[in-house]
Amino acid sequence: MANYPPPNNPLVCKVAVIMARDSRQIINTFHVVRAAGWNLAAMQDLALAVKGWWDALYKQYVTNAISLVQIQIRQLNPLLPLAYDLPVTPPIVGILAGTEEAANVTATMSERTGLAGKAYRGRMYIAGVAENYVNANDTISSVFLAGMALIIGALINNDLPAGQVLAIFHRPGLVPKPLDNQYTLVNSYVTENILDSQRRRLPGRGR
């Protein structure tokens, strides 16, 4: 296995939004920057804000087969690797009734920074899209598309604590690059109306 260098920027926290579908986990990850630096109190505030965002918006666009079970926050500082886990007990359950698509079927929300290239954008997913929001040509209904815009727009503009900003973190690789361990702030989004598929979300293929 390749020995990748650890991510290292004390101003950045990685957020893992951990959801459950039957016995499987579905995880969305993103990064948040705090120019003043991090401590456990700020990380706790972030976890509670993400939980509130999921409860107020995200759950409205997933079926009751999906539930939020935990928020994990990790500071990307190898010298002081602060960690905060927020269990969600009881789990917060999606509110849509009806049948969902297979777990590999996803709707995609793309985070943008105003700069071109794959290195300057991120992705977040809604996994197991409700069937009644999927058109016959495998596109997403306009109602669901508008809901995704509310979800990602709130995370960028309103729902994080003061001084905390959604960002794209540039992980170091085996070959050093100029962007290693830097970040670029997110300032806009694109919601994609064509369904995506992630085979790793199928049974036996990981998360």
**Confidence (pLDDT) at 103:** 80
In angstroms, what CA-CA distances link 79 with 76, 82, 193?
Answer: 9, 9, 42
**Confidence (pLDDT) at 1:** 53
Quick one: DSSP state of residue 100? B
- What's the whole-model pTM score? 0.92
**Confidence (pLDDT) at 22:** 87
**Helix, strand and coil in the chain, % to nearest 5:** 20, 40, 35
Q: What is the mean pLDDT of residues 175-197?
A: 92
